[in-house]
Amino acid sequence: MADCKQTVQEFIQSTFNPVVAVLCSADAETLCRKNNLSFIELVQPFCRLTSEVHIRDPSNLSHAIHNLKVVLRDFTSSLPPQPLLARKMLNEMVGSCQPILGDTTAVMTGEYNLHITTATPWLEVYREAFLQFLPPADHEFTRNYLACIFVVSTNQADPLDMFRKLNQQQQHQTSQKVPKWFCPNIFKYYVLLHDITDGEESIAEAVYQSMKSTYGAHACHLLQINSCDPKTSQYTPDNMPDPWSQFINKKLNFLESLAEEELSTEMTAQGLQGSLPGEGQTDFPSSVMEASLSPDQPDGVLVSEAGFVESAAEAVEGMEPVLPSVASVEETVDHPLSPDFEELLQDLQEKQTSIPNNTVSEHPLTNNLEESIRSAKLHSNAEKAKQVPHGMCLTLSDHDRLRIFIHEFCVRGLLPYVEKQIRTLNDQLMSRKGIHRSLFSATKKWFGGNKPTGQSHNLQNLNIVYSHESPELQVRRLADLCFMFQMYELAYQSYHTVKRDFNNDRAWPYYAGALEMAALSIFMQGQNAQRPYPYHYMETAVSTYMNAAKMPQFAARTTLLSTEILKHYSMYGDAAMHFIKMTNEDSDMRSALLLEQAAYCFIRMQKPMVRKYAFHMILAGHRFSKAGQRKHALRCYCHALQVYRGRHWSLAEDHINFTIGRQSFNLKQMENAANAFKHLLTNESLQTETQQAAFVREFLFVYKQLLAQPDQEGSSMLAQLPLPLIDSSTIMTLVGSHPVDAPAGWTAATSVKFATHSVDMPIWEKLEDMVTNHLNPIDNTASLGHAFKSSMQCFSNKTSNVHYPLAVVGESIALSLELCNPLCIDLVMTNVSLIWRFIPVACGHDNVKQAETLSNEAGTSMECEACITTEIIQEYVVNGLKRNIMNLKLIPHQTGELHLVGLSYNLGMQVVHPSSDTKSNYPSSISVRGQQNLEVQGQRLNSTKIERAGRMYATDRRLDPVVVPSMPLLQVYFENISSVMLCGEVRQMNIELRNTGQSALKDVFLVSSHPEFYSFCASDVRNGASEKANDNVYAALSTDARDDFIVVKTYDWSAVCKVPLSADGIVPGATVRLPVWIRGPQASGVHAIHMLFYYQPHEPTSKLRHRVLKHKILLTTISSFSAQAIAFRRYSDWQEGLIVNLEAENVNQLQDSSITEISIAQVSCASKEWCLYPSNDTDLCGIKLNAREKVCLCCEAVKTAIQSDSTYFTNVFYSKERIDSALSPSFDLYNHFLHECNELSTSTHCIAVADHTANDKAKALSTAVQVGLTLIIFWKAFVVDDQGVSRTVVGQHHIAVDTVNIIYAAVPVSVPPAKPSLTFIKEFEEEEVTCERAPLVPVIMLQQLATYCIRHPALVHHDFHYNRLLNAYSYNHFTSIMWFLIKKCLLHVLVIHNTYLSKGYYVF
C-alpha cells in the first residue's frame, strides 16, 4: 500500500550524494552527440559504483562505502529552474505519472473491503524532482559542487590549451556566489575524450601523457568511445542494451504531458453548474455546494454564487449555460515554449534592470531565466527524441570503459581528495579551538547564551552570516563530507557539536539544518547506532524551518525525510500528523501529495482508521483539483468513495459523486461521468430542490455528450437511464382486451384489472374449477391427461409465473409498472414505449420458427409495425417524491414468442422559472433518449431443504407471453343494474353478450359465488307453464290451475348455469340479448358477487381450450322486510297436522321515508310432505304494513296422502295477484335457497344433531321432530327515491322450517353453542366398573314422542254455592290414563283437568 521502490536508507543516501560539476568543450559535446546524448547523459547510467570502496577517517580507521553514487551536473546550465518554471515542471511530472492499471491491493478491515493503490510513483517523481530543483543554501554544503570534471576531445587542435581555458572559466565562476562550491580548492579532474573510429590513438596517447605530467596521473583519464561506426556496420538496437532510456524519458515525460494537458482543457462551457465551497474555504462542506468550474479554466477557478444563478437562468430559458469568466485564484504559468512566455521573459528582464545589483546578487536564480528557457527548448522535440535510439556508436567495451572511468574518478581521485579534506578540516578545527573560543562560550553560558533548544525564535537574528572560514561552517563542512561518504558516527558528532553553537547564535537555518542532519546520521547507523533515533530533532527542525527561518522548501524536505523514517518504524500515526502539519496554501501540489500520504498512513496503522483515510483522500483530491491534476483528483475521490458509499453519509457521497462526474467530464471520460451523476439521482437525496435540478441538468448534459461521441453514434442500443426508478416487484402483465365503454344505461363486465386481480384470485380459481368439473366430471379427468390449470390473465409477483402467458392475436397485452421519483423535482418522460423482441412462429407447424428475431430496440420499422403495434405515450410527468403507475400496451398481429425487454423514453425535467415558483407545462430543452431494462424475479422456493437453505427462486415468465391464433372474445353488458337493492328484492334486467373476437364461440356457462343472485328462467319443469303476467316480475298462476296444490317433479340443481343460446353460438361481431332475474340477498350489508363467464370456441387450440370473463358486483342491500315462523303439532280426531305461525314486520325506520309501505301478497309452501292451507278465510285486499308494524299470520299444514320425491307447492293468497310459485323465477330462486341451506348444515336454520346420529335410537327419535317445509313469502313495497319518484318493488323471502317448536327467521342468526352442564362425579375407592351409558337425547325430541287427547262434555251444570270444587268427569267418570310403551321406553302420563298440569317420568 503506497510503498516506494527505494528503501529509506537508499532514499536518504540518494538525497545527499556528492555533486560534481562538468565543464565540457564544444567539440567533446559534438563527439557525444553521435550517440544522441550529451556527455552527462552518456555517463549518467554508470555514475553508481557497483563495488564496495573504502575511505579513512582522521583516526586512520577504514570505513566501507556501499553503492556510492556521484551526481554530475552541467556547469553552464546546472542551476535550478526559475520558481515559476519549476512549479510548472513539477506539475507536469506528477501529471505524467499515473498508476498502473490493476496495481491495487485489497484491504479488509471490519465491514470495509477497500482496493488501495500499492505504489505511488508520482510521489517518488515529485520527491526526486523537488529535491533536484531545491536551490543550494548557505547553511549546508551537501548541494555544493565538490569537484569539477573538464572534458576535451582529441579533435581539438590544442587540448591542453582548451583545458587551461576551461580551468580559467571555472576559476572565474568560483569567485561568484552562484554556483556554490564546497571549498575554494575543489578537486579538478581532466578527461580526454577520444573517438576511436575518427581519431588516431597515438595522438591521443601523446596528449594524455602530457596531461599526466601537467595535472598528475590521479587527476587525468583517457576515455575512448565510439568503437562502432554506424556507416560501416549495421546497428541493431535490439541486440544492445539501452541504459540511457530510463534517464532520458524522465526528462522528456513532462514535456510530452504538456500537450496532453492542453488538449484535455479544451472543453465546452455548457451545462456545468453546481456549487463548491467559496473562495478560501478549505474545510469539507457540510452540504454539497460545489462551485461551477468552467472547462476553459483551471480547476482552481471558482464561480461566484451570482454567476451560478445567471447560468441557471440561461439554462431555464433553453440556452446552453455558459459560465461567467472569473479570475483565477492562483497565478497561472504559461508554457515555457509558448510565444506568450517570451513576453513574460521580457517583462521579467525589465524588472531585473530596475533592481539594484546587490539585490540581484542575493537572488541569483533570476539571472538564470534565459538558461532555464534554453534548457526547456532543448527538449521541444521530446516525442522525436524518444523514438531515436541512444548509444548507436557504443559497444559493450565502451560501456565498460565508461564504468572504469567513473570508478577511477572516485577511487583514484575523489576519495583521496575527500580523505585529505577531512583530515585538514579536522586538524584546523582542533588547532583553532583555543582559549578565545572557550572564554567566548563561557561568557555566553553565564549571560544566558545557552537557552533551551528551539523554545523561542528571535526573528531579528535571521540575517546572521558566518564567514567561509568560521569554525561553525568548518564543522558543518566536515560533517557534510562525512555524511556524504557514509561516516555517520563522525558526522553525528560534528552536527551535534555545531548545533549548540547555532542555537546560541540564534542562527535558525543553520540550527535547523544541523538538527535535521544529526537525526539522519543516527538513523543511517542502523543497528550500530549508540543512541536511539531522536524524533524530536526532526520536529524541531521542521518548526524552525517554517516559523523562524521562513524556508518552507527545506521544511518540506525535512518532512519527506522524517516521515519515511517514521514509517520505517511503523509509526504511521506520527507520520500522518507530520504530513498534515506541512500542508498549507503555498503549494496545492505539495499539499495534495502530503495529504494523500497521510491518508495511506491512516489505513496502514495497526488498527486502520478507515474514515480518516477517506476524509484525507477527499482533501487530497480537492488540492489536486486546485493544482490542475484532474486525473489524480479523480483517483483520490474514487478511493474515498469506497468508504462513504452506502454508509448513510448522503451529503458526503453526493459531494464525491459530483466531483467524480465533473473531473471525469473534464477528462473526457463521459461514461464515467454519466455513471457518477447517476448515483446522485438514484438514491434518496437530501439536497434542496435547486441543487437536485442542477444535478439533473448536469447528468442530462453529460449524457447528451456521451451519446454524441463517435463510438456511440452508430450504436443501436440505447444507454441505461437512472430515472425514474422502476419497482420490479410491481411489474404486472395483463393479456386480453380491456372492456370498452358501455352504452348509456348499460354496465360492462369489469373483467380483470391490475388493482384487484390478486385479492379475488382464489375465488376466481374456485369458480373456474367448478365449471371444469361440471363439464368434465372427476371420473373422466384421468382421460384429459393433465390437471386443472386456471386461466390466468394477470401475472404479478403474487402469482405463479412458471407458465408462459397466453396472448391472442389482435388483442392487447398491457404492462403495468410503478415509477418512483426519489427527487423533489418533477421528471418528464416523452415518447414512452415498450421495447420488445419477437420470434415469429408459424401456426400449425409444430412451433417451427419462421423468421429471424424482430425487435424495436434500434427503432421502429415497417416490418416491426406490421408485426406488433406499440402504444406510445407522448408525455408522462412523474411528480417529485411520488410513485406513479404507468400502463403501456401493445397489440400483436402474428403468432410467435414475445419478450418484453424494457422501457424506452426521452428523459427531461420541467422548467422552473427563477422569478416565480410556477412550473412550465413544457419540458426542458435538454432531454436525452435512453431505456431501462425490465427485470423480474420469481417466487422464492421453499419446498425442499436445499431450497430453504439457499436463496432459490422459481422461473418467472410474466414478461415472455406466447401469442396464439385468434380466439372468440366475449364482452358482457348489464342493463340498468343497480348497486343498491332491498333485501330479497327481485328485479328483471337484460344482459347482452357480444363476441368481439375473430372466431365464433360455442357455449357460455355462468357460475357465481352467489348462485341465488340470478336466474335465466330456464327451469320450466311443468308442462303447460303459463306466460308471465303483464309487466310483472313473476309469472301469474293460470286460471285452470288447482287452488289446493301443484306437484312439481324434482329439479336437478347445479351451481353452473348454461346460458341459453342458439346451436350456432355467437358468431364474430354478433350480439345476443337475454332477460335475467336477480334477487338481493336476504341479509343486509355489502355483498361482493363474483360472476364468471366460461366460454369455448368452436375450434379449440392445443394451448387455449377455453376463455373466461370475470365480473364483480358490489351490491348493497337494505333491510326492508323481516319474517319468522314456527310450527306446532296439531291433532284433530287423531289426525296429524301442523299449525304454522308466521310473523312479518316492516323494519323500515320511522324517520326513513324511502320505503313507505310493504304489503304481503302471497305465502307459498314448498315441501315433499306438507300442504299449506289458511286457518280461516283470507282477505284478498292484501296485508299492508307501515314502518315498524308487525302482523301475525296463522296457517295449517296437512300431510299429503301420496309419498313421492316430487315437491308440492301450495299457496295462500292475500291479494288478487296469483303468483305461480312453481315457475321461474320463483322456482329457481327457491332451489338456490334450498341448496344453500343444505350446504350450511351447521347454521341456525337446522338443528345440529351430528353428535347424536351415531346411535340408532337417537336417529329414530329425530324423526319425531322433523318437519321439512319451506315458506315463500311474496311481498310488495312502495319506494320513493331521492328525486321523489315512487316505484313498486317486489321480492320474496324464504324460511326453511325443519323442526317443530323452534322459531326460524328469514335471516339466520348465529347462536353461540351452549356450554356443557357441570356434573359432579363421586370418586369410589373400589375398582371402577365401566358400563355403557345410553346416549343423551335432547328434551325437545322427548316432548314430541307422546300425544294425548281429553274427551269431556261440552257443557256441565254445577252450583258453586253448593260445592266450590267441580269435577268434570269423562264419559266413564274418570280420567283416562294412557300408557305407551315404545321400544322399552315406559312413559307414564297423568293429566289433571283442573290445572292442565302434566307430569311424567321415563325409565330406561
Over residues 957-972, mean pLDDT: 92
Q: For residue 51, give every residue at least 6 positions away whose Cβ sits within 8 Å of its Cβ, in sequence order, or none.
A: 407
273-287, 1001-1015, 1256-1270, 1326-1340: segment of lowest average pLDDT: 273-287
Give residue 747's pLDDT.
87
Give the span between the Cα atoms of 1124 and 1140, in whole angstroms: 10
Give residue 1241's pLDDT.
53
Q: Is the Cα torsion angle 1191, 1192, 1194, 1199 positive or negative in sign?
A: positive
**Averaging pLDDT over each range in 269-283, 1018-1032, 1058-1072, which range is the top one?**
1058-1072
The Cα diameter of the chain in Å comes to: 192
Cα–Cα distances (Å) from 1324 to 1054, 1066, 1307, in that order, read 59, 81, 51
Cα–Cα distances (Å) from 231 to 228, 392, 1337, in that order, read 9, 11, 134
14-23, 487-496, 766-775, 1245-1254: segment of lowest average pLDDT: 1245-1254
3-state helix/strand/coil string of 1171-1215: EEEECCCCCCECEEECCCCEEEEEEEEEECCCCCCCEEEEEEECE
Q: Strand 1183-1185 vs strand 1155-1167: parallel, antiparallel, or unpaired?
A: antiparallel
Q: What is the pTM of this model?
A: 0.69
Give the span between the Cα atoms of 30 and 1005, in whole angstroms: 109
Cα–Cα distances (Å) from 1066 to 971, 995, 1059, in that order, read 11, 6, 12
Give residue 161's pLDDT.
93
What single DSSP character describes residue 717?
Answer: S
Give the span between the Cα atoms of 791 and 1082, in whole angstroms: 32
Over residues 245-273, mean pLDDT: 49
Give the span between the Cα atoms of 1077 and 1223, in whole angstroms: 13
* pLDDT, tens digit (0-9, with 9 covering 90-100), for 69-88: 999 998 887 677 888 888 88
pLDDT at 762 over 90: no
Question: What are the residues facing 1140 on neighbouring strands?
Answer: 1127, 1195
Please, which pLDDT band fits residue 576 given cuts at 50, 70 and 90? Answer: very high
Give the span between the Cα atoms of 201 and 217, in whole angstroms: 19
Give residue 760's pLDDT.
79
Cα–Cα distances (Å) from 1244 to 1270, 1290, 1297, 1307, in that order, read 15, 27, 11, 10
155-169, 354-368, 492-506: segment of lowest average pLDDT: 354-368
Give the span between the Cα atoms of 585 and 280, in whole angstroms: 9
Cα–Cα distances (Å) from 1218 to 277, 987, 1020, 1035, 1212, in that order, read 95, 18, 18, 9, 9
pLDDT at 17 over 90: yes
Over residues 1111-1136, mean pLDDT: 83
**Averaging pLDDT over each range in 642-656, 1134-1148, 1260-1274, 1385-1399, which range is the top one?**
642-656
77-91, 187-201, 857-871, 1328-1342: segment of lowest average pLDDT: 1328-1342
Give the span between the Cα atoms of 562 and 167, in whole angstroms: 40
pLDDT at 905 over 90: yes
Helices 650-666 + 689-707 axis angle, to 10: 30
Q: What percent of the chain has pLDDT over 90?
A: 35
Q: CA torsion, points 1241, 1244, 1247, 1250, in degrees to nearest 10? A: 50
Give the span between the Cα atoms of 221 and 213, in whole angstroms: 12
Q: Strand 1107-1118 vs strand 980-982: parallel, antiparallel, or unpaired?
A: parallel
2-6, 223-227, 685-689, 885-889: segment of lowest average pLDDT: 2-6
Length of the chain: 1404
Give residue 269's pLDDT.
34
Task: Return the C-alpha cell found at 88.
Answer: 510548472
Give the span between the Cα atoms of 676 and 688, in whole angstroms: 19
Cα–Cα distances (Å) from 1117 to 251, 980, 985, 1049, in that order, read 96, 6, 9, 33
Give residue 687's pLDDT.
87
Give the span between the Cα atoms of 745 and 1092, in whole angstroms: 22
Give the span between the Cα atoms of 620 and 1095, in whole angstroms: 74
52-56, 79-83, 370-374, 1291-1295: segment of lowest average pLDDT: 370-374
Classify residue 146 by burial, with Cβ atoms within 10 Å: 0-12, 13-18, 19+. Answer: buried
Termini Cα distance of the chain: 101
Give residue 285's pLDDT.
34
Q: What percent of the chain has pLDDT over 70?
A: 73
CB 771 within 8 A of CB 1092: yes
Which residue type occupies 850?
Q
Q: Is 1082 helix (H, G, I), strand (E, B) or coil?
A: coil
Give residue 325's pLDDT.
34
Which one has a higher pLDDT value, 14 or 1397?
14
Q: Strand 1107-1118 vs strand 1085-1097: parallel, antiparallel, or unpaired?
A: antiparallel
pLDDT at 715 over 80: no
Give residue 1180's pLDDT.
67
- Neighbouring CB atoms inside 10 A of 259's CB total 12
Query: For residue 851, how far is the Cα from the chain centroid?
Result: 39
**Averaging pLDDT over each range in 747-751, 1159-1163, 1362-1366, which range is the top one?**
1159-1163
Give the span between the Cα atoms of 1077 and 627, in whole angstroms: 87
Give residue 377's pLDDT.
47
Over residues 158-162, mean pLDDT: 93
Q: For residue 405, give every residue at least 6 positions away whose Cβ sits within 8 Å of its Cβ, in sequence order, or none.
A: 43, 46, 191, 221, 223
Q: Tell me which residue has cell 534548457.
A: 375
Give the span between the Cα atoms of 1205 and 423, in whole angstroms: 143
**DSSP calls for 1220-1245:** -TTSTTHHHHHHHHHHHHHH-TTSTT
What mean pLDDT value characterizes the chain? 78
pLDDT at 288 over 50: no
Give residue 1350's pLDDT.
64
* pLDDT, tens digit (0-9, with 9 covering 90-100), for 1210-1220: 988 888 888 88
Task: Return the C-alpha cell found at 1399.
Answer: 307430569
Give the span between the Cα atoms of 1400 and 1386, in whole angstroms: 10
Give the span between the Cα atoms of 44 and 362, in whole angstroms: 32
**DSSP calls for 990-1036:** EEEEEE-SSS-EEEEEEEES-GGGEE-S----STTPPPBPTT-SSBB
Give residue 1363's pLDDT.
79
Give residue 849's pLDDT.
54
Task: Return the C-alpha cell found at 11.
Answer: 532514499
Give residue 220's pLDDT.
95
Of all helices (H) and strands (E), which one includes residue 8?
Answer: helix 8-15
pLDDT at 1325 over 70: no
Rg (CA), the chain: 55
**Averaging pLDDT over each range in 1139-1148, 1214-1223, 1226-1235, which range is the top one?**
1139-1148
Task: Return the C-alpha cell found at 1148.
Answer: 323500515
Of all helices (H) and strands (E), which one includes residue 1310?
Answer: none
Give residue 236's pLDDT.
55
Give the span between the Cα atoms of 797 and 1382, in whole angstroms: 67
